[in-house]
C-alpha cells in the first residue's frame, strides 16, 4: 500500500513513515518544512517539499503515485503561539485543511486519517475524557482543529472518502531505535523543555501555577509514547482498508501525571537537578486532561506497549543527546 503523509518531516508524521515502511508499505511525504526537517525523513520514503494548499502540487502527487490512504499530520501545533497569532492557526490548520480535504473528496483516495487533539474538549475537572465529552476548545489551536474535524465530517458526507479522526493527548518520547524524535527546537512540550534544561540548552523550567485543584497543585496531563500513538494509526488505516466506517477515537493511556511529577522524574532519570520557577497560570490551561481510550482498545484492539513514563523520558533524553552529538538540530 502507498500512503501519503502530510507533515511527515515532523515529529509524529516521521514516526508514522517509519512504521509504515517497517511494515513493507510505500510512503510519500508532503511537508513544507516550517517546523519539520529532512533529517528525520526516512531515506526510503519519497519526499516532496511543498504546502498542502498547493493543489497543483497535490494533484501531481496523485498523478505520479497510486495513493491508497492519506494520513494528515501537517499543521501548526503550539497552543501559546495560537493565542498570540490565531490567524496563522485558522489559516494553516482550518483553511488549508478545507482546501485539501475538498480536493481529496474529488480524488480516488478513499481513506483519510486525521491528527486531532484533546484540545478540542471542554475542561473536565475530574475523571477521564471520552469521545462523547463536549467539544469546546479553550484556545485557537483547539478551535482550529475542531474546525478541521467538522470540515472533514461534513465534506466526507455523501462521498466515498472515509475518515478516522484520532484525538491525541500529550505525545512524547522518541523512536526506540532513535531514528526519529522531536526535531522542532522551538517545541515547548514539557518533557522536551525539561530535557533542554538537563542538556543546558535552557536555564530553567517555568511551572505555570501551583494552585490548580489537583493533588500537588500543578496541571495533570496524559503522556503517550509516540510509537504507541502510531500503532493506533496503523489500526485506523487497517480498519478503513477493510472497508470500515468513519470513526473518532482518543489516544492516551488514561493515566494522569502532574507537571511536578514529570519534572521530578526527568531529574531522577537524568540525575541532573535543574532549576524550576513557579510563575502564574497560563491562559487556556485546563487543570486535568486525561484520556478515556477504552474505545480504541476495545473496538480496535489497540494495545499500547510503551505505557511507562520512564521509557518515554529515557527515549526522549537519548534522542536529544543524539541530536546534540550529531549536530542534528533543525
Which residues sit at the interface with ligand NAD, rule CB under 6 A?
6-7, 9-13, 30-36, 51-52, 73-75, 77, 92, 96, 115, 117, 145, 168, 170-171, 184
- Judge contact between 6 and 100, C-beta under 8 A: yes
Cβ neighbours, 10 Å, residue 313: 23
Closest separation between CB of residue 114 and ligand NAD, Å? 8
Q: For residue 328, what is its C-alpha cell?
A: 542534528
Q: For residue 277, what is its C-alpha cell?
A: 520557577
Known catalytic membership, residue 141 = yes
Decide whether 68 or 184 has the Cβ nearer to ligand NAD: 184
Q: Distance (Å, rounded) from C-alpha 193 to C-alpha 34?
A: 20
- Judge contact between 247 and 233, C-beta under 8 A: no
Decide whether 5 or 207 has the Cβ nearer to ligand NAD: 5
Decide whether 35 or 258 has the Cβ nearer to ligand NAD: 35
Closest separation between CB of residue 98 and ligand NAD, Å? 12
Q: DSSP strand E in the chain: where?
A: 2-6, 26-31, 46-49, 69-72, 111-117, 162-168, 170-172, 204-208, 220-221, 223-225, 247-251, 257-258, 275-279, 288-289
Closest separation between CB of residue 120 and ligand NAD, Å? 10
Closest separation between CB of residue 96 and ligand NAD, Å? 5
- Judge contact between 97 and 143, C-beta under 8 A: no
Decide whether 92 or 315 has the Cβ nearer to ligand NAD: 92
Query: Which listed residue (121, 141, 212, 253) is catalytic?
Result: 141
Residue positions annotated with a catalytic role: 141
Amino acid at each position: 500500500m502507498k500512503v501519503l503523509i502530510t507533515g511527515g518531516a515532523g515529529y509524529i508524521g516521521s514516526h508514522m513513515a517509519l512504521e509504515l515502511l517497517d511494515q513493507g508499505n510505500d510512503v510519500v511525504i508532503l511537508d513544507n518544512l516550517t517546523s519539520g526537517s529532512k533529517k528525520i525523513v526516512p531515506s526510503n520514503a519519497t519526499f516532496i517539499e511543498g504546502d498542502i494548499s498547493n493543489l497543483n502540487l497535490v494533484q501531481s502527487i496523485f498523478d505520479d503515485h497510486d495513493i491508497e490512504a492519506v494520513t494528515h499530520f501537517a499543521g501548526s501545533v503550539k497552543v501559546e503561539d495560537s493565542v498570540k497569532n490565531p490567524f496563522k492557526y485558522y489559516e494553516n490548520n482550518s483553511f488549508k485543511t478545507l482546501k485539501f480535504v475538498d480536493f481529496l473528496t474529488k480524488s480516488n483516495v478513499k481513506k483519510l486519517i486525521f491528527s486531532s487533539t484533546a484540545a478540542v474538549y471542554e475542561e473536565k475537572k475530574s475523571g477521564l475524557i471520552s469521545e462523547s465529552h463536549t467539544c469546546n476548545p479553550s484556545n485557537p489551536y483547539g478551535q482550529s482543529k475542531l474546525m478541521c474535524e467538522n470540515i472533514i465530517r461534513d465534506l466526507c458526507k455523501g462521498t466515498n472518502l472515509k475518515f478516522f479522526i484520532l484525538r491525541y493527548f500529550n505525545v512524547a518520547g522518541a523512536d526506540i531505535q532513535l531514528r526519529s524524535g522531536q526535531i522542532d527546537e522551538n517545541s515547548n512540550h514539557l518533557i522536551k523543555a525539561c530535557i533542554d534544561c538537563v542538556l543546558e540548552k535552557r536555564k530553567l523550567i517555568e511551572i505555570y501555577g501551583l494552585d490548580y485543584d489537583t493533588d500537588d497543585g500543578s496541571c495533570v496531563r496524559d503522556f503517550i509514547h509516540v510509537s504507541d500513538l502510531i500503532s493506533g494509526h496503523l489500526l485506523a488505516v487497517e480498519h478503513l482498508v477493510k472497508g470500515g466506517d468513519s470513526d473518532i477515537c482518543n489516544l492516551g493511556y488514561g493515566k494522569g501525571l502532574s507537571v511536578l511529577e514529570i519534572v521530578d522524574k526527568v531529574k531522577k532519570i537524568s540525575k541532573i537537578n535543574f532549576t524550576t520557577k513557579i510563575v502564574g497560570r497560563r491562559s487556556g490551561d485546563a487543570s486535568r486532561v486525561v484520556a478515556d481510550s477504552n474505545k480504541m482498545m476495545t473496538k480496535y484492539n489497540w494495545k499500547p506497549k510503551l505505557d511507562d513514563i520512564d521509557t518515554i523520558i529515557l527515549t526522549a533524553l537519548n534522542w536529544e543527546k543524539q541530536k546534540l552529538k550529531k549536530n542534528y538540530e533543525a
